[in-house]
Amino acid sequence: MTRSNVILKVENLSKQYRLGLIGTGTISHDLNRWWYKMRGKEDPYLKIGESNDRSSEGSSDYVWALRDINFEVNRGEVLGIIGKNGAGKSTLLKILSRVTGPTLGVIKSNGRIASLLEVGTGFHPEMTGRENIYLNGAILGMTKSEIVGKIDEIIDFSGCQRYIDTPVKRYSSGMTVRLAFAVAAHLEPDILVIDEVLAVGDAEFQKKAIGKMQDISKGEGRTVLFVSHNMASIKALCTKAIVLEHGEVAFNGQVEDALDYYLNNTMKSSEAIYINPQPNEDSDILEVKVLKKNELADTFGFNESVSIDFKIKVSEEDLAAKLGFKAIDQFERVIFTSNTLMSDVGITKEGTYTIKVIIPSSVLMPNKYRVVIGFHIHKKKLIRKLDQSIQFKIEETGSGFENYQKDDMGCVLLDCNWESQNNG
């Protein structure tokens, strides 16, 4: 019975792309390929090709967007697919949803796959909302009777009742998206492929959409493959995840471990010190250090305070400049802001200053944080903004909340005033 649980199996999946322009070179390669095939030989261009690293210039015209991908998905599982831009996520989804074919390898599935790669596919502007629901539903793989059974629900979900018999070209773009999402959300395939459609519509509709996604993936026991850059929603929706790196599976396992792996690898450049390579003539940040008891450090215990030292240079006309920072966690949530506006640091004359700020202990939940630093005169001048350079990590060393790790406890632990009174 274990077999029947695997609903999707990907074996040695590879996809090769040719770089550069398609022109006269194409036909000669095509002929060459055909010639090898006629003699019963292997395609010569499959031997070459490099892993897909966008930033480094390669020597071959062929790259492997995906190489030897293997994984299995069980029925009812929600699998997250994580990776940086260009890691091959979309290519994988495209092959899974049969938009394009693999160069090598096999995908076996025990159910219908439908994708929400992009909503609103095949909408015809001249047709009414209702007609488009039928058409779009059929394009996405529903039969007419399925759509008839759901049409009221779809119209209701979209919130476009009033316009439903008006051509879609008269719709606002938001309404089109709502209608499109409503159709897509009522698909009932065995395996659903979702790619970052969370960011559609206005805030109210987004909430509705995310809720629907959660229903689909949690409540209804559907198998879902979910691709997103939003780690928070990956964590909320998925049970397992794979990490793609340069077209290969770098990690495959439980979602927490996968997120950990991914974050450790993308935050690899973490540094506790920043030295400005080319400071401005007049005012600038010269140096930033993250310190634990006057030693450079990038990992702190929950009960330790984090101190950040700034060395800055101020010119006569920038005496009003303020220094501030934002702490951002690994899910790109901004946790808090602090600014010299709030305290008098006493910059009164031209010169260099060392400014020290201490983030109190037992406040930030164990997590990885990035600090965005700004040196500016409010609404007048941005002297320097440091976006990526400073990072640190808070580790669990006795917040007392270790046991709650599976739950999202927020980002900050606040020591509120609790009072109690014994009333007999």
Partner 1 sequence: MKTADDNWLYVISHKRKLIELNFTEIWRYKDLLFLFVKRDIITAYKQTILGPLWYIIQPLFTSVIFTLIFNNLGQIKTGDINPFLFNLTGITLWNYFKQCLTGTSSTFTKNQNIFGKVYFPRVIMPMAVTISNLVKFGIQLLVLIGFYIYYLLRGDTLVLEPQYLLLFPIYVLMMALFSLGLGMLLSAMTTKYRDLTVLVSFGVQLLMYLSAVPYPLEEARAKFPPMVANLVELNPLSQIIEGFRFMVLNVGQFEMDKLLYSFIICILLFLFGLIVFNKTEQSFIDTV
Applying CB under 8 A, which residues contact partner 1?
A: 3, 9, 17, 22, 26-27, 94-115, 117-118, 121-122, 124, 126-127, 131, 134-135, 138-141, 143-144, 167
Tell me the CB-side half-sphere exposure of residue 160, using CA atoms within 13 A.
31
d(CA 225, CA 232): 16
Q: In the complex, what is the shortest distance from the CB of residue 238 to partner 1, in angstroms, rounded to a whole number? A: 23
AA identity, residue 389: S
Q: In the complex, what is the shortest distance from the CB of residue 160 to partner 1, in angstroms, rounded to a whole number? A: 19
Q: In the complex, what is the shortest distance from the CB of residue 211 to partner 1, in angstroms, rounded to a whole number? A: 24
Nearer Cβ to partner 1, position 79 or 96? 96
Q: How is residue 58 annotated by DSSP?
A: P
Nearer Cβ to partner 1, position 105 or 279? 105
Per DSSP bridges, beta strands 367-377 and 381-395 are antiparallel
Q: In the complex, what is the shortest distance from the CB of residue 167 to partner 1, in angstroms, rounded to a whole number? A: 8
Neighbour tally for 21: CB within 10 Å = 8
User: What does the block give as tokens for 269?
Assistant: 């450049």
User: What does the block give as tokens for 350?
Assistant: 């031209």
Q: In the complex, what is the shortest distance from the CB of residue 65 to partner 1, in angstroms, rounded to a whole number? A: 10
The three-class DSSP label of residue 234 is helix
Q: In the complex, what is the shortest distance from the CB of residue 161 to partner 1, in angstroms, rounded to a whole number? A: 22
Q: Give strand pairing partners of 275.
A: 287
d(CA 374, CA 389): 12
Nearer Cβ to partner 1, position 194 or 383? 194
d(CA 301, CA 274): 22
Nearer Cβ to partner 1, position 114 or 308? 114
> What angle is formed at CA 249 by the lines to CA 61 and CA 48, rounded to 5 degrees?
20
Contact yes or no for 133/151 (Cβ under 8 A): yes
Nearer Cβ to partner 1, position 127 or 286? 127
Nearer Cβ to partner 1, position 127 or 297? 127
Q: In the complex, what is the shortest distance from the CB of residue 237 to partner 1, in angstroms, rounded to a whole number? A: 22
Nearer Cβ to partner 1, position 192 or 328? 192
Per DSSP bridges, beta strands 284-292 and 306-314 are antiparallel
User: What does the block give as tokens for 171?
Assistant: 């719709």
Q: In the complex, what is the shortest distance from the CB of residue 14 to partner 1, in angstroms, rounded to a whole number? A: 8
Nearer Cβ to partner 1, position 226 or 300? 226
**Contacts of residue 135, Cβ cutoff 8 Å, sequence gap at least 6:** 122, 123, 124, 127
